[in-house]
């Protein structure tokens, strides 16, 4: 089974990219972030025509998350949760559901803007609430997948320039990385690191300064697996190809394979 995550940075703008990618890759489960669509505008009929059922929670212009399940391979969605329970937040950033034996939690973590800003404080509060909720989820659902755009590069292997992206930079700051480590300590493993030790593999490149052409990237899109699933992880990859297409998302899809 292949499980994928992709921040599409506007599904309306990137629907044809998604259509082509799903047709080529055919992963069983897909998490999308930054769909930027209100629910009544979500293209569920178009996605159904590709052989996927959809679950989505969106809003106009910003944020938005969705889950896609291949209809010929996995069952429908159950026990749906939108948002982090008990955390007051009008932004559509979290969508969870059970799919067969798996519990899937799709995240679009707050960017944070700049260290010390109000949005940074919101990011840390979001991550604290996420930790407490996932501690309960992993007890209830031993086969847990937590994936999405985390907006945190786990360590210096995951940035093109650790001097520029340091402990005072957004996405790599000390507090952000500590919050991510707390998620790992719940028993969640970074699927990419289960299969690859090397640095220099990225999932996001800034549109500015020819970031992709120069490979000035960060790895901030992750697929985390509970212990029961980490033992079944036979592969992990970043598909750079869509980032090179015309008018791409600034993120590439990331995938984990479970035996």
What is the CATH classification number for the domain harbouring 233? 3.60.10.10
User: Cα(42)–Cα(36) distance, rounded to whole angstroms?
Assistant: 9
CB 21 within 8 A of CB 7: no
Query: Can you list the pairs that 204-209 forms with residues at least 24 positions away whose Cβ atoms lie under 8 Å?
Result: 204/7, 204/149, 204/250, 204/251, 204/252, 205/243, 205/250, 206/250, 207/250
> Which residue segment(s) compose the domain that 254 sits in?
2-258
Question: Looking at residue 37, what is its pLDDT?
Answer: 98
136 CB neighbour count, 10 Å cutoff: 10
CB 191 within 8 A of CB 230: yes
Instruction: Choose the catalytic residue: 120, 141, 149, 221.
Output: 149
In this structure, what DSSP letter does residue 159 have?
B
| DSSP three-state, residue 178 | helix
Q: What residues are paired with 5 via a beta bridge?
A: 31, 254
- Among residues 108, 120, 141, 192, which one is catalytic? 108
Note the maximum CA span of the chain: 47
Q: How far apart are CA 258 and CA 233, in angstroms?
A: 5
* pLDDT value for 56: 98
Q: What is the dihedral of CA 107, 1, 248, 150, to 10 degrees?
A: 20
Please indicate whether residue 44 is annotated as part of the active site.
no
**What is the 8-class DSSP label of residue 257?**
E
Residue 251 contacts residue 204 (beta carbons within 8 Å): yes
In this prediction, residue 70 carries a pLDDT of: 98
120 belongs to the catalytic site: no
Structural domain total, the chain:
1
96 beta partners = 81, 105
The pTM of the whole model exceeds 0.95: yes
pLDDT at 42: 98
* Cβ atoms within 10 Å of 45's Cβ, excluding its own: 8
- DSSP 3-state assignment of 181? helix
- Would you write out the chain's pLDDT as a tens digit for each of its 259 residues? 999 999 999 999 999 999 999 999 999 999 999 999 999 999 999 999 999 999 999 999 999 999 999 999 999 999 999 999 999 999 999 999 999 999 999 999 999 999 999 999 999 999 999 999 999 999 999 999 999 999 999 999 999 999 999 999 999 999 999 999 999 999 999 999 999 999 999 999 999 999 999 999 999 999 999 999 999 999 999 999 999 999 999 999 999 999 9
């Amino acid at each position: 089974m292949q499980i994928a995550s992709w921040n599409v940075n506007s599904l309306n703008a990137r629907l044809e990219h998604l259509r082509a990618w799903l047709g080529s890759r055919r992963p069983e489960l897909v998490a999308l972030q930054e769909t930027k669509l209100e629910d009544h505008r979500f293209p569920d009929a178009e996605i159904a025509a590709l052989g996927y059922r959809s679950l989505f929670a969106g809003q106009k212009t910003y944020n938005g998350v969705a889950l896609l399940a291949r209809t010929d391979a996995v069952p429908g969605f159950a026990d749906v949760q939108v948002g982090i329970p008990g955390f007051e937040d009008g932004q559509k950033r979290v969508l969870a559901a059970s799919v067969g034996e798996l519990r899937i939690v799709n995240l679009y973590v707050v960017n944070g803007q700049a260290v010390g800003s109000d949005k940074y404080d919101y990011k840390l509060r979001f991550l604290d609430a996420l930790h407490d909720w996932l501690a309960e989820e992993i007890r209830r659902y031993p086969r847990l997948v937590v994936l999405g755009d985390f907006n945190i590069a786990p360590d210096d292997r995951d940035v093109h320039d650790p001097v520029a992206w340091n402990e005072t930079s957004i996405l790599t700051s000390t507090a952000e990385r500590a919050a991510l480590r707390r998620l790992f300590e719940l028993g969640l493993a970074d699927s990419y690191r289960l299969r690859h030790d090397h640095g220099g593999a990225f999932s996001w490149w800034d549109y500015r300064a020819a970031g992709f052409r120069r490979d000035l990237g960060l790895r901030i899109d992750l697929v985390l697996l509970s212990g029961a699933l980490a033992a079944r992880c036979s592969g992990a990859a970043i598909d750079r190809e869509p980032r090179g297409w015309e008018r791409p998302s600034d993120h590439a899809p990331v995938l984990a394979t479970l035996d």
